[in-house]
Copies of this chain bind each other. A is one copy, B any other.
Amino acid sequence: MAEKKAGGLAGIVAGETAIATVGKAGLGLNYRGYSIYDLAERASFEEVAYLLIYSDLPTEAELDEFQARITSKRELPKSLLLVLEQIPADAHPMDVLRTGCSALGTLEQENNNQYDVVERLLATFPGMLFYWHHYQQHHKKIKTQTAETSLAGHILYLLHGKAPEEDMRRAVDVSLTLYAEHEFNASTFTGRIVASTLSDMYSAVTAAIGALRGPLHGGANEKAMELIEKFKTPAEAEKKLKDMLSNKEKIMGFGHRVYRESDPRSNIIKTWAKKLAEKTQKENLYSVAECIEKVMWDEKHLFPNLDFYSAIVYHCCGFPTSMFTPLFVMSRITGWAAHVVEQRENNKLIRPGADYVGPEQKDYVEIQSR
């Protein structure tokens, strides 16, 4: 009963997974048995994507083939470009990806080729976002293919229209690895429910994008940036943040449903945030963020989660804040896909029950007598 009262299925085991383990004592976060520390430091995002989708790390030959397939799948069909052109400039980029994914599902339907669909989405999400972005912001129809072989490089190229510097490419690459998978979070669980009705991959991913969009989930990295940008100096941050806390305002980018003492991904991305802040002369922004981190710990015993310092990394790379959650999508498609495949392997419809707290049965009254 204690579990039930906690609500939100907190503490309820909704199924089994072999994809990731989160927050178990001594384990931190592992993808298919590999520590996130090793993966973020030593593997490329493409190796991690392969690991999640195909269950093991690739050999050099497997990785080459995988990367060649992904880079060859970046072009968008003409009809999808026309759909993207209809989406207004003031739309949220997450809604662009949600609509683009759904539309692609009508043009290239899934048909016993789930891995093709996954690779196609992994390859095309950056093109969808940046085609729309440059079309609406700069009246320009960009090509969605680049010479960049990595997803991180491809994304940065599409944003700036030129090859990125290596440390930015690597920082984004690491962030994609950290964002790739996180067990039964809300968007992944949404995707699994959709898959459990035996619906298609596009429906599952479209649904997951809609869930990730919310500020209590992926949207938190955008809210974190908005918070950091509120303050001009660490001193101002300390004072005003304490005021916000006494007013019981919700601060995004801190704490986590699963982790209790720290988010293992936060330290990794924080190193990159510092490096890029120095490189781009945004040391003050970084100092404000560190001050926010200290106040949140001293006052609330809350630690930064991945979303907090990712915001600084993305900001220093030149991404508009509204693109932070879409970057999350471009990575998490790998985790979502792995979960859809896993759900399908041993499927049972996900359909919980509810406690009825509504009115007792009432007599019907004809409309004239109401």
Contact = CB atoms under 8 A, between A and B. Distances in A.
A355 B184 CA distance: 10
A147 interface: no
Nearest to A81: B86
Interface residues on A, range: 35 or more
A257 interface: yes
Give this chain's copy count. 2
Given A35-B361, A190-B190, A359-B33, A352 B13 contact: yes
Nearest to A355: B16
Interface in A55-101: 57-60, 63, 79-80, 82-83, 86-88, 90-92, 95-96, 98-99
A302 interface: no
Interface string A189-210: 1100111111110111011111
B102 A99 contact: yes
Contacts of A320: none
Q: Kindly name the residue among A33, A60, A354 whose own CB sees the greatest number of chain B CB atoms within 10 A.
A: A354
Interface of A: 4, 7-21, 24, 27, 30, 32-35, 38-39, 42-43, 47, 57-60, 63, 79-80, 82-83, 86-88, 90-92, 95-96, 98-99, 102-103, 105-107, 109, 183-187, 189-190, 193-200, 202-204, 206-219, 257-258, 348-362, 364-368, 370
